[in-house]
Structure 1
Amino acid sequence: MGKLIKIIILSFIVLSCSQPAKKVESRKETPAILLLSKLNKLNDKGVLFGHQDDLAYGIGWRYDGGAYLQSDVKKATGSYPAILGWDIGHIGDSLNIDKVPFDHIKKLIVKGDSIGAINTISWHPSFLNDSINSWFKEIDMVNTLIPGGENHQELIYKLDLFSAFLRGLKRTDGSLVPIIFRPWHEMNGNWFWWGEDFCDNEQYKKLFQFTVNYLRNEKGLNNLLIAYSPDRQFHSEEEYLKWYPGDAYVDIMAMDNYYDFQPGGEGLDAAVNKLEIVANVAEKKSKLAAFTETGFDKLEHQNWYSQELLPILKQKELIKKISYVMVWRNHDTTHFYVPYKGHPSLPDFLKFKNDEQILLLDDIN
Structure 2
Amino acid sequence: MNKLIWTLLMIGLIVSCKAPQNEISEKQKLFDILQSVKGKGILFGHQDTYAYGYTWKDVEGNSDVKRVTGDYPAVFGWELGGIEKGVKANLDTVSFVNIRKYALKAFAQGGVNTFSWHPFSATKRVDSWNTTERVVDKIIPGGAYHEAFKKDLDALADYLNSIVTEDGVKIPFIFRPWHEMDGTWFWWGRTSCTPQELKDLFQFTVKYLREDKGVDQMLVAYSPDRNFNTIEDYLTWYPGDEYVDVIGMDNYYDLYTKGLVDEAIKKLHVIIKYANEKGKISALTETGYENIPDSTWYINKLGVVLSDSIVAANISYTLVWRNDPLKHFFFPYPGQPSAKYAKELLDRDGIWLLNDLVEFNKQNK
Per the normalisation by structure 2, the TM-score is 0.89
Q: 1:203-222 to 2 correspondence within 5 Å?
A: 203-222=197-216
Find the residue that maps to 2:276 and give its secondary structure: helix
Cα offsets for 1:197-251 (capped at 9, x unmatched): 1111111000000000001111122210000000000011100011000000000
* Letter aligned with residue 83 of structure 1: V
Residue pair 2:40, 2:313 contacting (<8 A) in 1 also: no
Unpaired runs of 5+ residues, structure 1, are 1-25
Q: Which residue of 2 aligns with 1:193?
A: 187
Give the alignment partner of residue 239 of structure 2, picking from 237, 245, 249: 245
- Structure 1 residues 134 and 171, CA, compared in 2 at 3 Å: closer, same or farther? same
Cα offsets for 1:25-51 (capped at 9, x unmatched): x99622211111121222242100000
Answering whether residue 322 of structure 2 is matched by residue 322 of structure 1, we say no
Cα offsets for 1:277-300 (capped at 9, x unmatched): 111111111101010110111111
Q: Which residue of 2 aligns with 1:354?
A: 347
Structure 2 CA distance, aligned partners of 1:199 and 1:27? 42
Structure 1 CA distance, aligned partners of 2:129 and 2:327? 22
Q: CA deviation at 1:267?
A: 0.9
Answering whether residue 336 of structure 2 is matched by residue 343 of structure 1, we say yes
Q: Which residue of 2 aligns with 1:16?
A: none
Q: Which residue of 2 aligns with 1:275?
A: 268
Structure 2 CA distance, aligned partners of 1:27 and 1:34? 13
Q: Which residue of 1 aligns with 2:133?
A: 139
Residue pair 1:95, 1:102 contacting (<8 A) in 2 also: yes
Q: Which residue of 2 aligns with 1:81?
A: 73
- Is the deviation greater in 302-311 or in 224-233? 302-311
Structure 2 CA distance, aligned partners of 1:30 and 1:222? 9
Answering whether residue 33 of structure 2 is matched by residue 38 of structure 1, we say yes
Q: Which residue of 2 aligns with 1:291?
A: 284
* Letter aligned with residue 147 of structure 1: P
- Structure 1 residues 293 and 363, CA, compared in 2 at 3 Å: closer, same or farther? same
Find the residue that maps to 2:295 and give its secondary structure: coil
Q: Which residue of 2 aligns with 1:10?
A: none
Structure 2 CA distance, aligned partners of 1:47 and 1:121? 19
* Letter aligned with residue 55 of structure 2: G
Answering whether residue 63 of structure 2 is matched by residue 71 of structure 1, we say yes
Aligned positions, number: 337
* Letter aligned with residue 308 of structure 1: K
Q: Which residue of 1 aligns with 2:296?
A: 303
Cα offsets for 1:332-361 (capped at 9, x unmatched): 275111111111111111110111110000
Unpaired runs of 5+ residues, structure 2, are 1-20, 359-365
Find the residue that maps to 2:291 and give its secondary structure: helix
Structure 2 CA distance, aligned partners of 1:209 and 1:293? 22
Give the alignment partner of residue 262 of structure 1, picking from 256, 261, 265: 256
Residue pair 1:50, 1:84 contacting (<8 A) in 2 also: yes
The structure with the larger Rg is 2
Structure 2 CA distance, aligned partners of 1:231 and 1:195? 10
- Is the deviation greater in 29-38 or in 251-260? 29-38
- Structure 1 residues 272 and 234, CA, compared in 2 at 3 Å: closer, same or farther? same
Residue pair 2:82, 2:91 contacting (<8 A) in 1 also: yes
Find the residue that maps to 2:37 and give its secondary structure: helix
* Letter aligned with residue 332 of structure 2: P
Structure 2 CA distance, aligned partners of 1:112 and 1:220? 22
Structure 2 CA distance, aligned partners of 1:122 and 1:355? 28
* Letter aligned with residue 82 of structure 2: H
Find the residue that maps to 1:156 and give its secondary structure: helix
